[in-house]
Amino acid sequence: MRGRWRLAAAAAVALLSVGAAACGDDDEGTSESTAAAPAESSAAAETSAPAESSAPAESSAGGESSAPAESSAAEEPAIEPVTLRIGFSGALEGPYAAYDATLLKGMEYAAKKLAEAGDPVTVEIVSKNNKGDQALAATTTQELIDDGLKVFVLTTADPYAAQGSLITAAGGVMSVGGNTAPQIAKDLGDRAFFFVFGDNVQASADAEYACQQGYKNAWLIGSDEIPYTKDLPKYFKDAFEHCGGTVVGEDVYKIGQTEFRTQVTKIQNANPAPDVIFTPMFVPDSGIFLKALRGAGVTTPFLSTDGNDSTLFADSGGDAVDGAVFSTHGFAGSGAVADFLADFEKVTGAKAESNTFEAIGRDNVYALVAAVKAAGGSVEPDDLKTAIEGLKDVPLLTGNMTMDPATHIPIKDVTLIKMNGTTQELVQTKTPDYIAAP
């Protein structure tokens, strides 16, 4: 995620068991997908379909979302039938395919469900494969703009910034897709929006949980390579100190690192000793780190973020992930996300490849459709921009969303997951009481 998840090492690619399907490509490496064949068709085609009329209900007191509930016609403004075209130039092959290909499949699922429900907004997804390459991302994004696309979802790979500049220059409007680093909103300006929580929110949720557990001394590990791994420790420190905790040490690592003896030794020798380790380290690095940490006899609790909401966490860490806690966008074991995953398999004929990324893709489409309806049926970028800024309590699988018109980052619940052995268990779902400034 996200201007953030960079599986840089070849070892990381080899470990990726998600099996993200790559799009077929032509001589330029571009392709457009259809709803019937997500991320596979090489022919230029468009996807038709929009958000289903069923929407996830609010989280229950127990922290789990209930099954999606049908929305009545009275709950939505009546509009004339309209078509919303959404452009997506994604890394549909290579390391970032684990995120972009699954995001696209969730978007295409949403388009189908909306069409089946007879929604007045017909969604067409027009996608191209940029392979995670900067130049190809710019070329394919410009091709989509030239084809009349004005509404976009951005890649999770590094070229998101180049895409955003082109879309802004063309007067378009965009969702940042699965990216969570608030710096992206600052970099791209006021025509970009988040439909997921920001890293400042999930780090604050982690810090609040740490204080609730009675942890007093935290050890932070980050990386300056990307905003995700650079800024999350800062947000955690802010929120942890706000609730009375102290950061007793900070260290760095390199994304794709496969040996963590230095980091582990520093933790062993820390005085005072930390009673919790917080890091935005993501798979497979996090699993490898935990193996080294536990192998050295260090039992300090491990607290992390949504980059570990993947089967690769347990695959890379084995039994060492037991007891680890991380923040994410929903719980795949029950409630609305579990219902979605079952229906996704039924509709697409294949299991979802991630725990939440298909759901995030689905939610991007539903949020944009909600904006079309709030704009009285307009699909013009300026109208959608105004409508998105005013969205409140939009029911999404990854948590009800109210947009902050100032930051363009919504206030949303954060789900905390704890590993019991190699199995996920729900800890809680809530919005943190204190949120670090983005």
C-alpha pair distances (Å), 107 with each of 294, 362, 402, 436:
39, 5, 20, 30
Q: Does the structure show a pLDDT above 60 at 401?
A: yes
Minimum mean pLDDT range among 28-37, 57-66, 126-135, 284-293: 57-66
Instruction: Return d(Cα 84, Cα 370) in angstroms, integer.
Output: 11
70 or 333: whose pLDDT is higher? 333
Fold topology of 199-328+415-430: Rossmann fold (3.40.50)
pLDDT score for 1: 56
Instruction: Return d(Cα 415, Cα 412) in angstroms, integer.
Output: 10
Q: Does the structure show a pLDDT above 50 at 66?
A: no
307 or 69: whose pLDDT is higher? 307
* pLDDT tens digits for range 147-193: 999 999 999 988 999 999 999 999 999 999 999 999 898 899 999 99
Q: Does the structure show a pLDDT above 50 at 56?
A: no
For residues 264-290, average pLDDT: 97
CATH 3.40.50.2300 occupies which residues in the chain?
A: 10-197+334-407, 199-328+415-430
pLDDT score for 76: 67
Residue 415's pLDDT band (cuts 50, 70, 90): very high
For residues 287-296, average pLDDT: 98
* pLDDT tens digits for range 189-205: 999 999 999 999 999 99
Q: Does the structure show a pLDDT above 50 at 391?
A: yes
Supply the Cα-derived Rg of the chain in whole angstroms. 21
pLDDT score for 143: 98
What mean pLDDT value characterizes the chain?
85
**pTM, full prediction:** 0.79
Q: Does the structure show a pLDDT above 70 at 115?
A: yes
How many CB atoms are closer than 10 A to CB 286? 27
Which residues fall within 8 angstroms of residue 308, CB to CB, at 6 or more apart?
A: 282, 283, 286, 324, 326, 328
Instruction: Return d(Cα 306, Cα 412) in angstroms, integer.
Output: 14
The sheet carrying 423-430 orders its strands as: 246-252, 217-222, 276-278, 302-304, 325-328, 414-420, 423-430
Residue 366's pLDDT band (cuts 50, 70, 90): very high
69 or 141: whose pLDDT is higher? 141
* pLDDT tens digits for range 297-353: 999 999 999 989 988 899 999 999 999 999 999 999 999 999 999 999 999 999 998
Which CATH number, 1.10.540.10, 3.50.50.60, 1.10.10.10, 3.40.50.2300, labels domain 10-197+334-407? 3.40.50.2300
Residue 141's pLDDT band (cuts 50, 70, 90): very high
